[in-house]
Amino acid sequence: GIACAALNRCDFPQGFVFGTASAAYQYEGAVAEGGRRPSIWDTFSHTPGKIIDGSNGDVTDDQYHLYQVIKALFPLFMHLNASAVNPEGIAYYNRLIDALLKQGIQPYVTLYHWDLPQALEDLGGWLNSSTIVKFSAYAEACFNAFGDRVKHWITFNEPHNFVVTGYDLGVEAPGRCSILGCLRGNSATEPYIVAHNVLLSHAAAVDVYRKKFQSTQKGKIGITLDAKWYESISNSTEHTAAAQRALDFELGWFLDPIMFGDYPSVMRENVGDRLPNFTNEERSRVLHSMDFLGLNHYTTNFALPIPFNLSRVDYYMDARVIGSGKVSKCFHCNIFPSWFQGASFWLYIVPWGIRKIVNYIKERYNNPTIIITENGLIFFLMDQNNLLSSKETLKDDIRVNFHADYLSNLLLAIRDGADVRGYFAWSLLDNWEWTSGFTSRFGLYYVDYKNELKRYPKNSSVWFSNFLNISC
């Protein structure tokens, strides 16, 4: 193994990029400034009952105004080479990009991190195939405005995540369907239609970039997919097939069309004629539409097969498997000691899972270039009125160990032969964590929401800074 204590950037291949990740709606605030108009997350977060603490992203970190603070406050920034942002508003992003470049930090820009304009949602949003040309026009505007300085583009953040939570479980924007049923929406069809339109939008943007910009701007373009590692609960055929189905329905749903030209065969079998088909033209546009894969990886689940149940037709019934960090009957506990759970119900700390998912991608998809675009941890939920926990949260040694352990396993995957080029921690600052509001603080820096949004370094920022601040 690799001794974590000794681990630093010099252990990684030359040119390996370290950064932190962020997202517009979670950071920017300035809800009614700079010509900003509502997105589906403004609508959703202002709907009573949707967000745990009743908060919204109207102000959050006010990064729209405070982006300059990075220069003054953050020693960590001096040692990073990259930061993932999500553009909205040419002038603001010009200021931000220029401020980053001045610090020697390359921006890796995500075009869509879940905040579809509400005006497009009103026309059907991702369910409407006319959104495809609108997305590629938006992408083209971004390439035009920023492509002279931005050399890494990511079309979408985590389509699997926003499709399932938005159109099947209904717990995130635009909140269609719910596990109890669908007042509006259709869990049997909409997730697949949306995913299809998202893939075509991604491919259209890549096509524009390659045809009009890439030869002059000389950047790269990819997509970020979220993927857990799914561990089989035994080596029976039934259980290993369930783990494979979980990977196919989560990662393969998007990566198979890009790498092989169609959805995984198990999706074709289980979803049947509810799964859209690619025309030949669409297929050839989607095929190989990425220069690199962004991978958001946080956790590992056991794959628990579920019996086919006709009472609800949806993504999970089609997949016939659900992920869980717990397994009621442990089949091989000698191999799998108990997993520590972060404060999110979904986040179990399983550092070896990143090595497995990266090697799985290497094997199945012919070793694509991978950048870990998000990885991070929360380990307790913050009560906004509890001042003691505000101070405790600065001592985040659990987060330090998390990143060090995941990085050492990522390094093992690189030594196994995987082509991994970068690692971005989620996230630089505490920020507005979607339905968890301000109760979940993923930042390497603490934000005091009660006192002028002041930022304070947590131990993890000091650790990351030391990890990076060494010449090789």
Decide if 153 contacts 209 (C-beta within 8 A). yes
Choosing from 20, 86, 157, 460, the residue that interacts with ligand PNW (CB under 6 A) is 157
Phi/psi at 349 (nearest 5 deg)?
-90, 105
Nearer to ligand PNW, 373 or 461 (CB): 373
String marking each residue 308-327 x if it binds ligand PNW according to CB under 6 A: --------------------
Bond prior to 117 in cis (omega within 30° of 0): no
Could you say whether residue 160 binds ligand PNW (CB under 6 A)?
no
DSSP 363-419: HHTT---EEEEE-----SPPPTT-HHHHHHTT--HHHHHHHHHHHHHHHHHHHTT--
What is the Cα–Cα distance from 276 to 45, expressed in whole angstroms? 31
Residue with token string 């259209």: 204
Question: Which H or E run includes 121?
Answer: helix 118-121
Alpha helices (runs of H) in 218-290, residue ranges in sequence order: 237-247, 253-260, 265-271, 280-286
Choosing from 158, 231, 256, 405, the residue that interacts with ligand PNW (CB under 6 A) is 158
Choosing from 299, 300, 390, 465, the residue that interacts with ligand PNW (CB under 6 A) is 299
What is the Cα–Cα distance from 30 to 48, expressed in whole angstroms? 21
Is 374 an active-site residue? yes
Q: Choose, from 28, 121, 158, 433, the residue flagged as catalytic.
A: 158
Could you say whether residue 115 binds ligand PNW (CB under 6 A)?
no
Could you say whether residue 156 binds ligand PNW (CB under 6 A)?
no
What's the min distance (Å) between Cβ of 123 and ligand PNW? 25
Nearer to ligand PNW, 42 or 158 (CB): 158
Neighbouring residues of 453: CB distance < 8 A, sequence distance ≥ 6: 59, 61, 62, 66, 447
Could you say whether residue 374 binds ligand PNW (CB under 6 A)?
yes
DSSP code, position 343 = S
Could you say whether residue 433 binds ligand PNW (CB under 6 A)?
yes
Choosing from 50, 220, 228, 285, the residue that interacts with ligand PNW (CB under 6 A) is 228
String marking each residue 208-227 x if it binds ligand PNW according to CB under 6 A: ------------------x-
Nearer to ligand PNW, 25 or 143 (CB): 25
- Residues serving a catalytic function are 158, 374
Q: List interacting residues with ligand PNW (CB under 6 A).
A: 23, 26, 157-158, 161, 226, 228, 296, 298-299, 346, 374, 426, 433, 442
